[in-house]
Amino acid sequence: MLRPLGDRIIIELVEVEEKSQFGIVLPDSAKEKPQEGKVVAVGTGRVLDNGTRVELEVKEGDTIIFSKYSGTEVKYEGKEYLILRETDVLAILG
Amino acid sequence: MLRPLGDRIIIELVEVEEKSQFGIVLPDSAKEKPQEGKVVAVGTGRVLDNGTRVELEVKEGDTIIFSKYSGTEVKYEGKEYLILRETDVLAILG
Amino acid sequence: MLRPLGDRIIIELVEVEEKSQFGIVLPDSAKEKPQEGKVVAVGTGRVLDNGTRVELEVKEGDTIIFSKYSGTEVKYEGKEYLILRETDVLAILG
Amino acid sequence: MLRPLGDRIIIELVEVEEKSQFGIVLPDSAKEKPQEGKVVAVGTGRVLDNGTRVELEVKEGDTIIFSKYSGTEVKYEGKEYLILRETDVLAILG
Amino acid sequence: MLRPLGDRIIIELVEVEEKSQFGIVLPDSAKEKPQEGKVVAVGTGRVLDNGTRVELEVKEGDTIIFSKYSGTEVKYEGKEYLILRETDVLAILG
Amino acid sequence: MLRPLGDRIIIELVEVEEKSQFGIVLPDSAKEKPQEGKVVAVGTGRVLDNGTRVELEVKEGDTIIFSKYSGTEVKYEGKEYLILRETDVLAILG
Amino acid sequence: MLRPLGDRIIIELVEVEEKSQFGIVLPDSAKEKPQEGKVVAVGTGRVLDNGTRVELEVKEGDTIIFSKYSGTEVKYEGKEYLILRETDVLAILG
């Protein structure tokens, strides 16, 4: 098992179709493309300056959208994961 | 549904006419052009160093102006959205 | 109506004569040229780390001087405005 | 009248002789040259994170030394002023 | 013995196989490769602005994953160690 | 008299011999060379976020070592001074 | 005597053998090489935002490891010292 620290989360990548409904690749290359992932573990939270720990909003099992190029790839027991900070998470799906 | 985190909001873009009243493109290219969007979801707010959470000023349904080039485009269930931080919102319309 | 957020203000630009009394353009190009504007709306203020909100010093109707190149131009209902942070305001006139 | 905001002050420049006692320009060009000014207005002070406002140390009428290249030049009713942050003030004279 | 300061930890490197199950080197060179280490000593923690010291989450004996290129190599009594800040630790294994 | 503001101090430079005991210039040019000065005035101290003012450790009359290239040269009543922030002071002598 | 300020410490350098057991220079040039020093003086500590002063962890007489290229060399009464911030200290030996 992998236990992320502080405000970090661990996700498995979810494959997202990069084409439009009609199969045309959208040319909006100037914008950062987001990606989807499924949360498999969350850290214990961020410690504030007054000493209290703020729990993460993201929970295990959530499907999230995150900024491409954020995080660090980790391979563990034959599977690939991505470790992100919660601040790299843009939104929770569903 | 997309639920933004912290101080993030999700908007649908609103098309804005980029020409002047008489159809002439304004040449003020040195200035950052703002854009309009309609807020479809808001995050739970920003956590202060004393542990309290500050609700966002922007509400669901607001039409806002934001700085061009800010935010991340997201496609979800066939529609396009933009995820911004509240700090990228310049003003609320109306 | 445009409602600015947080520590932002909205101004209408005031035309300022860029020449000296005798019609000579002042060559002090190394210095940033300030500009004048009339405040038409102010935000709700900045939230401190202890959770209190600090009202802006600038009030609606004030004529202000601000650093050139700061802010974002906005066109709304046929008129042009500039949205600034209060920190870009150098002084209030009168 | 010009009223500076927050931790800003407004000064009139004081001409300083740039030569040594014997009329020789000092070649210490690697060092930033300070300048003198007379304070004509001071802001209401800086707001701390606990919500209290810290009055400026600099008072109206003080002659100060400040770092060259800091501040913004302002022309108001035919006179030239410089608007600085108090942090750009190096020392008070006399 | 080496005693790390503050939020630092000392680890011994653990050799990680860089190939896939079938012996093929994974070409994902654009991503930062994480590494494994075994924690041999931890600092006394980070001091918050309110004066309390936050103990590290990482404990002696933990196997951790950390960002490649972080930390400083130290050789002590013939053995090599790496000194990291806890913030460079991505996850704890097992 | 020159009165420095906040955490600033004013020093007179003390000439330091840059050669070794045997008159050889030390070639350690990659390292920043420190310099000596005598403190002639100190500011009122730094204001913390809780509103209290922290007195400077450096006192008038102290001989200090400071990082070369820090501070601003000031000429006042025919004498040259250097205005530094206390944080540029490395150590007090004696 | 040299008295360092705040979170600074003064050390004497300790010569460290840069070769391996068999006299071969280790080619790990991409990593920052740490160095050893003996602490001869420590500052009074760092002042937190709540006004309390945090004593340094490093004590006079400690042998420490620090990041190469950090600190400032000082020559005082014929001896060479290095002045560091405690944050540049990686670990205490023994």
DSSP conformation class of F19: B
In a domain, F37, yes or no: yes
Q: Are G83 and G71 a contacting pair, CB within 8 Å?
A: yes
In a domain, C30, yes or no: no
Nearest to D89 by CA among F2, F38, F65: F2
Question: In sequence order, what are the beta bridge partners of A72?
Answer: A83
Residue of D88 and D30 predicted with greater confidence: D88
B34 → chain C, closest CA residue = C74
Number of domains in chain A: 1
pLDDT at position G4 over 70: yes
- Cα gap F46→F57, rounded to integer Å: 11
Q: Indicate the range of D14-18, F65-69, F80-84, G12-16 predicted with least confidence.
A: D14-18
In a domain, G44, yes or no: yes
pLDDT at position C27 over 60: no
Judging contacts by C-beta atoms under 8 Å, the chain A residues touching residue E62 are none
Contacts of residue A83, defined as CB under 8 A and 6 or more positions apart, other chains included, come to: A2, A4, A8, A9, A10, A71, A72, A74, E34, E65, E90, E91
What is the Cβ-side half-sphere exposure of residue E68, based on CA atoms within 13 angstroms?
A: 13
In a domain, A78, yes or no: yes
pLDDT at C69: 85
Kindly indicate the confidence band of residue C14, based on its pLDDT and cuts at 50, 70 and 90.
confident
Q: Are C51 and B52 a contacting pair, CB within 8 Å?
A: yes
Kindly indicate the confidence band of residue E80, based on its pLDDT and cuts at 50, 70 and 90.
very high
pLDDT at position C33 over 70: no
| DSSP 3-state of B88 | helix
In a domain, C20, yes or no: no
In a domain, C24, yes or no: no
* Best residue of A13, A69, A75, A80 to probe chain E, by most E CBs closer than 10 Å: A75
In a domain, B41, yes or no: yes
Residue of C73 and A42 predicted with greater confidence: A42
pLDDT at B75: 87
In a domain, D28, yes or no: no
CATH number of F41's domain? 2.30.33.40
Q: Do B32 and C74 touch (CB under 8 A)?
A: no
- Domain coverage including residue C10: 1-14+35-94
pLDDT at F87: 94
Over residues B6-16, the mean pLDDT reads 89
pLDDT at D69: 85
Over residues E31-59, the mean pLDDT reads 89
User: Per-residue DSSP letters for G63-90?
Assistant: EEEEETT-SEEEEETTEEEEEEEGGGEE
Over residues C49-53, the mean pLDDT reads 89
E48 to chain G, minimum CA–CA distance in Å?
Answer: 8
* Best residue of E20, E48, E90, E92 to probe chain A, by most A CBs closer than 10 Å: E90
pLDDT at F18: 54
- Cα gap G9→F78, rounded to integer Å: 37
Over residues E75-93, the mean pLDDT reads 94
Q: Are F11 and F93 a contacting pair, CB within 8 Å?
A: no
Q: Do F4 and D91 touch (CB under 8 A)?
A: yes
Mean pLDDT, chain C, whole residue set: 85
Q: For the purposes of burial, counting CB atoms within 10 Å of the CB of F29, is it exposed (0-12), middle (13-18) or buried (19 or more)?
A: exposed
pLDDT at position G17 over 80: no
Residues of chain F with pLDDT under 70: 16-34
Residues of chain A with pLDDT under 50: 20, 24, 26-31
E48 → chain A, closest CA residue = A49
Kindly indicate the confidence band of residue E69, based on its pLDDT and cuts at 50, 70 and 90.
confident
Please say whether the dihedral angle defined by the alpha carbons of residues B18, B19, B20 and B25, taken in this order, is positive or negative.
positive
Angstrom CA distances, A37 to A34, A52, B73, stand at 10, 29, 16
pLDDT at E9: 98
Q: Return the number of other C-beta atoms located less than 10 Å from residue F16's C-beta.
A: 12
Measure the N-to-C terminal CA separation of chain B; round to a whole number of Å.
26
pLDDT at D92: 97
Contacts of residue F13, defined as CB under 8 A and 6 or more positions apart, other chains included, come to: F35, F36, F37, F80, F82
Tokens (6 digits) for G77? 């009464």
E86 to chain A, minimum CA–CA distance in Å?
Answer: 9
G30 → chain E, closest CA residue = E69
CA angle G63, G65, G66 (to 5 degrees): 130
Q: Are C85 and C8 a contacting pair, CB within 8 Å?
A: yes
pLDDT at F31: 47
pLDDT at position B52 over 60: yes
